[in-house]
Amino acid sequence: MKTISSGFCRFIQYFSALIVVAFLGGCNLDTRMSTFVTKGPIAEEQLNLFMLTVWVTGIIFVIVGGVFVYAVIKFRERPNDDRPMPSQGHGNPLVEIGLIGASILLLAIIAVPTLRAIWFTQETPDDPESRLGAWYQGDDLAEEEAENPLIIKVIGYQWWWAFEYPQLGITTANEMIIPAGKVVHLELRSIDVIHSFWLPRIAGKVDLIPGRTNSMWIQAGDNFAKWKEKQGLEGEGPELRQDYAKYLEEEIHDYYYGQCAEYCGESHARMLFRTTAVDDQAFAEWVADEKAGHGTPDGKSWDEWYTAYEENPEELTGDLNEGLKLFMGRAKCATCHTVNGNPRALGVAGPNLTNIGSRQSIAAGWLNHRAEDGSIDVEKQYDNLYKWIHEPEVVKPGNLMWKANGGGIGELIDEHGEPALLTDEEVSKLSLYLQSLK
């Protein structure tokens, strides 16, 4: 019996060691959603606070665990053990006051940096170089906004994100563009249920609550002053500015992954978003593209196109025109979606589709078509658009695009009141049209 017991114990030990090795072998701190690879001052501050807590609690674990193991080994009962019971520390004022004092000291060690981090993350800093007038290269900025940082209104829906840029007059969805190295102020609110904005490599989580506006600030990369401080550099000059620009280009300009971090319904896990950090010029160009929007597929003015659409739609030929006709007509897309430039595509219930063909994902980041080199996989993009239009309820259960009180594409009917869902050919033409919006 003793041999069997010993063999079983050895098996448990070896098996546990194997599990631990396998678990540690799967650890990777440099993942898309890693909080250990920081790309902004808020994420860096939060990581430092986390590591301080880990060290403090780790030391407590080692001390308490070490004392426990020591006591178990030293005072364990042995065969024919007639030693008297060891003296007990319970009720010893020196021991108990010492433990209380040590606990207070350890709490202070954690509490002071915690409060400092809270104050740091709560108030948007007034960085002169982050004021719009100091860096924004577009020509459509109101004079009174020149002294303010970039403001983005983040609005959560089940299950997608709207990003409004009120100072610049544009709105996009699910993919947010920000300037690298600049403070960005976010105003967060929800239309339906509680959501939570989480962009782990740049900043922590803040909830979006219906009927209330929360706020936070984010910054992709250090500003010029902080970068110089970390590099141990002083002064000002073209060479330093070039080195700083190189730091932003090589380390910060990137595609960052975010998601909703608060359970918000059946498709909560599929409520993702993306953020791209770009240089000042690229940001201004993106804003200009968003504001310009799109024309008609064949170069007609919108008045000419709508005249033909209403009076002689057979004139509008080709897959893109057929897709646009479906978008404005049978598929009812324009009742919920906006496409800048199109004077009749002004829906607000769904995501803004301006330049959707330039986005690297759809369905709030759930369907990706971003290639490894950062470009768009065109074939994958078409497949994703087709899949999303063809079966949105399968891709994202519960979404309003499928069922919307008679306005969803899963509720389309013909002139006789019979179900008349989009055909495969119609879905294909719609997909091609949306893919052309870039």
Burial class, 409, CB count within 10 angstroms (exposed 0-12 / middle 13-18 / buried 19+)? buried
Structural contact between residues 291 and 182, judged by C-beta atoms closer than 8 angstroms: no
Q: Name all domains of the chain by residue range, CATH numbers in brackets.
A: 36-76+91-123 (no CATH), 152-277 (2.60.40.420), 293-435 (1.10.760.10)
Residue 411 DSSP symbol: G
User: What is the rounded distance in angstroms from the CA atom of residue 272 to the CA atom of residue 261?
Assistant: 9
User: What is the rounded distance in angstroms from the CA atom of residue 162 to the CA atom of residue 256?
Assistant: 17
User: What is the rounded distance in angstroms from the CA atom of residue 135 to the CA atom of residue 125?
Assistant: 16
Q: How confident is the model at residue 6 (pLDDT cuts 50, 70, 90)?
A: low
pLDDT digits (tens, 9 = 90+) for 28-59: 777 888 899 999 999 999 999 999 999 999 98
Q: What string of DSSP letters covers 152-164?
A: EEEEEETTEEEEE
Q: Within the chain, how many helices (H) and strands (E) appear?
A: 12, 12
Nearest to 136 by CA among 298, 262, 286: 286
pLDDT digits (tens, 9 = 90+) for 413-437: 877 777 889 999 999 999 999 999 9
In a 3-state reduction of DSSP, which class is residue 248? helix
pTM: 0.87
CA atoms within 13 A on the CB side of 387: 16
Residue 261 DSSP symbol: -
- Percent of the chain scoring above 70 in pLDDT: 93
User: What pLDDT, on the 0 to 100 scale, is given for residue 8?
Assistant: 58
User: What pLDDT, on the 0 to 100 scale, is given for residue 222?
Assistant: 94
User: What is the rounded distance in angstroms from the CA atom of residue 389 to the CA atom of residue 401?
Assistant: 9
Please give the structure tokens belonging to residue 24. 């540690």
Structural contact between residues 132 and 148, judged by C-beta atoms closer than 8 angstroms: yes
Q: Tell me the residue type at 279.
A: D
- pLDDT averaged over the chain? 90
In a 3-state reduction of DSSP, which class is residue 271? coil
User: What is the rounded distance in angstroms from the CA atom of residue 181 to the CA atom of residue 282?
Assistant: 14
In a 3-state reduction of DSSP, which class is residue 119? helix
Q: How confident is the model at residue 9 (pLDDT cuts 50, 70, 90)?
A: low
**At residue 87, what are phi and psi to the nearest 5 degrees?**
-65, 145
Q: How confident is the model at residue 79 (pLDDT cuts 50, 70, 90)?
A: confident
User: Under 8 Å CB-to-CB from 34, ≥6 apart: which residues?
Assistant: 200, 201
Q: How confident is the model at residue 75 (pLDDT cuts 50, 70, 90)?
A: confident
User: What pLDDT, on the 0 to 100 scale, is given for residue 1?
Assistant: 45
Q: Tell me the residue type at 367.
A: L
User: What is the rounded distance in angstroms from the CA atom of residue 93 to the CA atom of residue 398?
Assistant: 62
Q: Beta-strand (E) ranges in 223-372?
A: 255-260, 272-278, 361-362, 367-368
